[in-house]
Amino acid sequence: METPLPRLLIIDDQPDTIALLLAYLNDFSIDISVASNSGEGLQKALSDKPDIIFLDVVMPGVDGLKLCKQLKLNPLTAAIPVIFLSGRVELHDKLLGFSAGCVDYITKPYSEAEVVARLTAHLSHVKRLSPANGDHNGPDIADKIIPQALQYLKDNLAEPPRVIALAHLLGTNERKLTDIFREQLGMTVYEYQAQLRIEQACQLLADSNLPVKQVAIQCGYKNAGDFSRAFRRRMGANPLDYRFNKSQPDAP
């Protein structure tokens, strides 16, 4: 029986970018479908069940970040790896992408070698997780657990649960939940939670006048000192400097 080709869905509103990616993958053994907007992309993701998705971040209407969140909240598409394609290269933008649920983030200008290498790596990972390969944390389980886990972590950011407690809430155990996070998101529960905290902190610092201490509390830190050290490690600046830079008229 002939093995079916892996399926890639490209969602991008720029014809030039689509043409470039198709050229890069011309000699690659893969079945490619294309969508020019988020609505069409969501429909094709549901109907075609691609093995992986290339998703542009900046699109009119529903952007790539919002679409990725929709895909991850839908049990039918939650397990499909999403690779973001973007000209936004700041760490903050990448954090937003990973918080939305992507497994990788490729920045412009794209190189053929990078696109092919990352696609190959993630397709190999998908193949290892397929039921035919005997994986016990396959899509059926992940489809149920991942969306619920991500939503629960977002809803309880100020008082994040311990991994063992979260696992029990989801009807599984700590080890299996950790394995699923690593397989589907490329990180542990704690790593995702830390990333989510910083992403939320960035939004609060940029969009509110809350004192840093209050921002720390809302993001699940016990004290401002721990928060400031964690924020500086990930963002390369302390919270006050980050807020000041974001308040400038020419800030990105």
Q: What is the reported pLDDT for 16?
A: 92
State the average pLDDT over residues 96-102. 87
Is residue 70 one of the residues assigned to a domain?
A: yes
Inter-residue contact 158 to 219 (CB < 8 Å): yes
Is residue 99 one of the residues assigned to a domain?
A: yes
State the average pLDDT over residues 175-183. 85
Q: What is the pTM of this model?
A: 0.54
Do 12 and 125 sit in the same domain of this protein?
yes
Range of the domain at 23: 7-129
Do 99 and 189 sit in the same domain of this protein?
no
Query: Where a domain ends, among 98, 129, 160?
Result: 129
Distance in Å from the first CA to the final CA of the chain = 53
Is residue 90 one of the residues assigned to a domain?
A: yes
Is residue 60 one of the residues assigned to a domain?
A: yes
Q: What is the mean pLDDT of the chain?
A: 84
DSSP state of 211: -
Q: pLDDT-based confidence at 211, cuts 50/70/90?
A: very high
Over 70: is that where the pLDDT of 20 sits?
yes
Is residue 138 one of the residues assigned to a domain?
A: no
Domains of the chain: total: 2
Q: pLDDT-based confidence at 149, cuts 50/70/90?
A: confident
Q: Which of the listed ranges 55-64, 92-101, 116-125 does the model predict with the highest average pLDDT?
A: 55-64
Q: Give the residue from 39, 71, 74 showing the smallest Cα distance to 53.
A: 71
Query: Where a domain ends, among 99, 129, 159?
Result: 129
Is residue 55 one of the residues assigned to a domain?
A: yes
Identify which has the larger pLDDT, 216 or 125.
216
Q: What is the reported pLDDT for 252?
A: 53
Do 39 and 117 sit in the same domain of this protein?
yes
For position 220, which CATH number holds?
1.10.10.60
Give tens-digit pLDDT for 160-176.
788 888 888 777 888 88
d(CA 6, CA 2): 12
Cβ partners under 8 Å of residue 36, min gap 6: 11, 12, 13, 15, 18
The structure tokens listed for 104 are: 């990788």
Maximum distance among all Cα pairs of the chain, rounded to whole angstroms: 63
Is residue 137 one of the residues assigned to a domain?
A: no
Q: What is the reported pLDDT for 126?
A: 64
Do 111 and 200 sit in the same domain of this protein?
no
Q: What is the reported pLDDT for 154?
A: 82
Identify which has the larger pLDDT, 145 or 243.
243
Query: Where a domain ends, among 129, 161, 178?
Result: 129
